[in-house]
Structure 1
């Protein structure tokens, strides 16, 4: 079935995980257009595929956005608190209620302890949507247990991945640790630095690359204070010479080469709520051993999988896990072989097909003749 998709989301040139996710999904679903959510000051550069821009400072911008989305067969709405106008982003609900076509809402955050406003809003979003997708089973379980929602509407479709797997790219003599993604408080890099300081006795000691620009919202409110604090901490710990900061934006080819050069992907995130991590999925699919704090998505993918879990904010545990992988080749080989989660089902074409299957059911139901009593 040919379906024309309308997408509502942040989108490139905005650089955030949600924009990257939406761009990949839109590219693999094919025919359609994007209604881009843009904060005041976002790069206004026109992007192919964007048919309308909803600037968050535009009064009642939801109305025009809903009208544009209703020209497609299905509206795919990315939901994250804080990207839409209104309290907790409540104006997305106005869009959903005004649509004249079926809607599929992708939930990127499901909080265990939401405020009353956040809980009520998410329940109303699910009620207004025709279908809802969570990216992990943990998010679905949390949604069904903690919120009053219709379970029949909810499907689990994994986060898609690029194809970064392949032979290792060039590596130096030192073991290479890597963290990538937008930088900001909560990323936990300070714990990784403290862990790295506990590995100086290794011969040779590992080098740690932190790749990614500072998150635009962090820049807006705090400038580069977090990045500066990391530089200061590295110097104080005596490991600055073993840490590389790559702050330029990397395209897929450059990022793939960087990922394949890593011996271990380190995800020292502070959040205990994170049910979706695109970086984690990409790391697993690339078959690189992962050391991650026990946030929900990591617990789901790494338990008996290709990585080790450690407690939050615990540099000693981080260092111990990294040391085990670097000094025990058999363990590293075992972790690389635990690639059950990295099967083709995680690649974007397969993930997009799952979205298409849900959308096709919605379109079919939308066009099904309504039975008239007595006929």
Structure 2
């Protein structure tokens, strides 16, 4: 049985990467069977501490801001019976400028390395370019969750295309509870519900949906927009609840108190699936067109809900064939018309639901786990003995 070391954040830390890694680990265990030899190398911030991981042998805590700890952790991996290292890469979780400390870990590592890039740029800027390039060069295989990321990486870093593997962002299936029962339980009966969920922060485009909502309500008086999720902890440290209060003020100015419901709390996985299953439309109005991966979009499509979105990178890739559901950011008229049209037409919603459900079936966690296990098996069969070399980053 292949023994895996996962490098990532991990619950109980509340962030998308931690949740992703937990589900990926579960999906791989579901395919391959649980392994006592697996380890999770958990990045943690000194302010949060490692109490949640220290006394469990499955976790090897790595203090993100302690540069010396990265090479030490690689040495520990080298001396273990780990077969493959799976690095979940997001620049912000590692120490140093643009997360450069992870290069020390990679330079000292002599085990096969698979890297999943959660952020990929069409044209990587400084200071990210040299760091991502060195990680890519040192990796035995690279996983991306967006097909467009493959030509981006090939062009930016001169990588052979066969080194890069597309595996979609994993997602759950719909709730097993009857949908009408769910809607009654959640207070959605008699309403046409649009949903946005995730940790609240600026740059999600929620204001643009609120701007379109008065026109939607005129066409569909039972429309309800649910904004689910607590404020992102890093945002809360910086500015408290200022952004949430701004949204509340906007809702009041537009007279939308009966048509917008903000749920300021942490949602468990089960609750999120329930809310997604029960809603009529999922909405991702993000202004940033370069977003290569969206976990919330992946979840909505996995559950099989129709989605209306801006045409950012992940939406264009995942929703191929559903271009009518992609609307320009900030075009209030277009959003008003499309949301109103869909919420008023049950037959159209059903047609889109079926189309999205077919796309989502390929993203369910068991399928994603199978693809990872197959990749690891191929890698270990062609195991190489050489030690990786990686240069230093010059600023």
TM-score in terms of structure 2 length: 0.87
Aligned positions of 1:221-300 closer than 5 A = 221-300=238-317
Provide, for residues 69-126 of structure 1, a one-character-per-residue CA deviation record: whole Å limited to 9, x for no partner: 3321110001111211111111112111211210100000111243233112111111
SS in 2 for 1:176: strand
**Which residue pairs with 1:65 in the alignment?**
73
**Which residue pairs with 1:121 in the alignment?**
131
Deviation at 1:307, TM superposition (A): 6.8
Q: What is the CA–CA distance in structure 2 between the aligned matches of 1:232 and 1:50, rounded to whole Å? A: 47
Provide, for residues 336-364 of structure 1, a one-character-per-residue CA deviation record: whole Å limited to 9, x for no partner: 11133122x32111111111111112222
SS in 1 for 2:173: coil
**Which residue pairs with 2:393 in the alignment?**
none
Counterpart selection for 2:47 from 32, 41, 52? 41
Deviation at 1:293, TM superposition (A): 0.5
Q: Are the aligned partners of 1:176 and 1:209 in contact in 2 as well (CA < 8 Å)?
A: yes
Q: Are the aligned partners of 2:303 and 2:360 in contact in 1 as well (CA < 8 Å)?
A: yes
Structure 2 unaligned regions, length at least 5: 30-34, 387-395
- When structure 1 is superposed on structure 2, of 155-164 and 144-153 the one drifting more is 144-153
Deviation at 1:67, TM superposition (A): 2.9
**Which residue pairs with 2:88 in the alignment?**
78
Aligned positions of 1:92-171 closer than 5 A = 92-164=102-174, 167-168=178-179, 169-170=182-183, 171=188
Higher relative contact order (Cα pairs below 8 Å, separated by 6+ residues): 2
Provide, for residues 50-79 of structure 1, a one-character-per-residue CA deviation record: whole Å limited to 9, x for no partner: 522112232422123323433211100011
Does 2:359 correspond to 1:341? yes
SS in 2 for 1:358: helix
Q: Are the aligned partners of 1:292 and 1:307 in contact in 2 as well (CA < 8 Å)?
A: no
Q: Are the aligned partners of 1:283 and 1:290 in contact in 2 as well (CA < 8 Å)?
A: yes
Q: Are the aligned partners of 1:133 and 1:154 in contact in 2 as well (CA < 8 Å)?
A: yes
Q: What is the CA–CA distance in structure 2 between the aligned matches of 1:144 and 1:92, rounded to whole Å? A: 22
Deviation at 1:309, TM superposition (A): 0.4
Q: Are the aligned partners of 1:289 and 1:307 in contact in 2 as well (CA < 8 Å)?
A: no
SS in 2 for 1:163: coil
> How has the CA–CA distance of structure 1 residues 368 and 361 changed in structure 2, closer, same or farther, with 3 Å as cutoff?
farther
Q: Are the aligned partners of 1:268 and 1:292 in contact in 2 as well (CA < 8 Å)?
A: yes
Q: What is the CA–CA distance in structure 2 between the aligned matches of 1:43 and 1:329, rounded to whole Å? A: 50
Provide, for residues 134-178 of structure 1, a one-character-per-residue CA deviation record: whole Å limited to 9, x for no partner: 011011122223333232211101111112255422232111110
Q: Are the aligned partners of 2:65 and 2:94 in contact in 1 as well (CA < 8 Å)?
A: no
Q: How many residues align?
A: 367
Q: What is the CA–CA distance in structure 2 between the aligned matches of 1:242 and 1:50, rounded to whole Å? A: 46
Aligned positions of 1:173-188 closer than 5 A = 173-188=190-205
Q: What is the CA–CA distance in structure 1 between the aligned matches of 2:250 and 2:75, rounded to whole Å? A: 51
